[in-house]
């Protein structure tokens, strides 16, 4: 039987690298940015690699990504 993609996870987790790591946006840059430092906002623009401990769980959620 075909596996189904978890749609909520696919919207939050962008892509998978050649090494098999999953990338996602960092938190705290979407709203209420007036009180946050420029350094925090600059760092949160980049994609962050997710933990390798969650890799098996993420491959089940996103089998075709």
For the chain, domain boundaries: 7-61
Distance CA 25, CA 22 (A): 10
19-63 pLDDT, tens per residue?
889 999 888 788 888 899 999 899 888 899 999 899 899 999 999
Look at residue 39 in the predicted model and tell me its pLDDT: 92
Look at residue 26 in the predicted model and tell me its pLDDT: 87
Look at residue 20 in the predicted model and tell me its pLDDT: 86
Distance CA 36, CA 34 (A): 6
Q: Which two tokens stand for residue 43?
A: 């760092």
Note the CATH number of domain 7-61. Answer: 4.10.410
- Quick one: pLDDT band at residue 5, thresholds 50, 70, 90? very high
């Amino acid at each position: 039987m075909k596996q189904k993609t978890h749609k909520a996870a696919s919207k939050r987790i962008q892509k998978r690298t050649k090494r098999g790591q999953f990338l996602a946006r960092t938190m705290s840059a979407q709203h209420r940015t007036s009180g946050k430092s420029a350094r925090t906002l600059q760092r949160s623009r980049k994609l962050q690699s997710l933990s390798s401990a969650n890799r098996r769980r993420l491959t089940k959620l996103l089998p075709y990504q």
